[in-house]
Amino acid sequence: MDSNLVKGYQAAVELAGEQLRNADPAELAGRCGGVFDDAARTVVVEYLNRQYTVTWPEIEAHRVGADDEVPLPTRVLLLNYVLYAHKTPSTGEMIAYRDIPGAATYEPSFQKRAVAPLVKTFDGKPELLYSAAEKIGGWRGSVADASVVLRVLPLLEVTYGIWHSDEEAPASGVILFESSVRRLMSPECIIVAASSGVYDMIKAAYS
């Protein structure tokens, strides 16, 4: 990982930690769709079909049932999700990443880290896409030539779609979000969340 990116993630973890220490974990759990464990002083959050905890007052992230350290991008994502995510009524409106406020600057990174590996792996392989998504709790979607939906976080459903290549056009992909994503997390964290869904499907496809 690029050293500047690491520094940015570390700074984001420290900033989120400072804000979380002064927040009420029970209130945050109610807002973000997590579960508050008063005895353990933790908020439990489901992330891509796995459980993670954010603990107080240390403000640390752990994967339930695993001893290995949570990767830095995942820590940034989980801490910021617990800190900022708010339940909002569903609008039924689907938006692209570029339609999220502040996301335009990060569009090239989103395409490289999320859309490109999705298309490269699953172009022309709809059944592989469906089975991979089902292995990690996803289901079939209704956009493009083939699509699936993953509940990446309690309040974040992401739709992954592919238009398969043919003689007239190369393959292309689309990743869509319910418009309430604007109140869940930053554009940078949304890249981590959406791309993690892609990588988990790739692993599931060949496991």
Interval 50-71: pLDDT, tens:
999 999 999 999 999 998 899 9
State the Cα–Cα distance between residues 38 and 26, nearest whole angstrom.
8
3-state helix, strand, coil in the chain (%, to 5): 45, 25, 30
- Do residues 16 and 52 both lie within one domain? yes
- Do residues 124 and 189 both lie within one domain? yes
- Do residues 192 and 100 both lie within one domain? yes
- Do residues 164 and 126 both lie within one domain? yes
State the Cα–Cα distance between residues 40 and 188, nearest whole angstrom.
30
pLDDT number for residue 6: 86
- Do residues 152 and 105 both lie within one domain? yes
The domain boundary, picked from 84, 110, 135, lies at 84
Query: Is 89 a member of any domain?
Result: no
Query: Is 160 a member of any domain?
Result: yes
pLDDT number for residue 2: 65
- Do residues 182 and 124 both lie within one domain? yes
The domain boundary, picked from 19, 54, 84, lies at 84
The tokens describing 147, both together, are 């699509």
Residues of the chain whose pLDDT is less than 50?
none
Q: Burial code of 136-145, b = ≥16 C-beta within 10 A, e = fewer?
A: bebeebebbe
State the Cα–Cα distance between residues 201 and 207, nearest whole angstrom.
10
Helices (H), the chain: 3-21, 25-32, 72-84, 107-110, 116-122, 126-135, 187-205
The domain boundary, picked from 65, 84, 103, lies at 84
User: Which residue carries 């493009």 as its tokens?
Assistant: 144
pLDDT tens digits, one per residue of 124-152: 999 999 999 999 999 999 999 999 999 99
- Do residues 123 and 196 both lie within one domain? yes
Based on its alpha-carbon atoms, the radius of gyration of the chain, rounded to whole angstroms, reads 17
Q: Domain span at residue 34?
A: 3-84
- Total count of domains within the chain: 2
pLDDT number for residue 77: 95
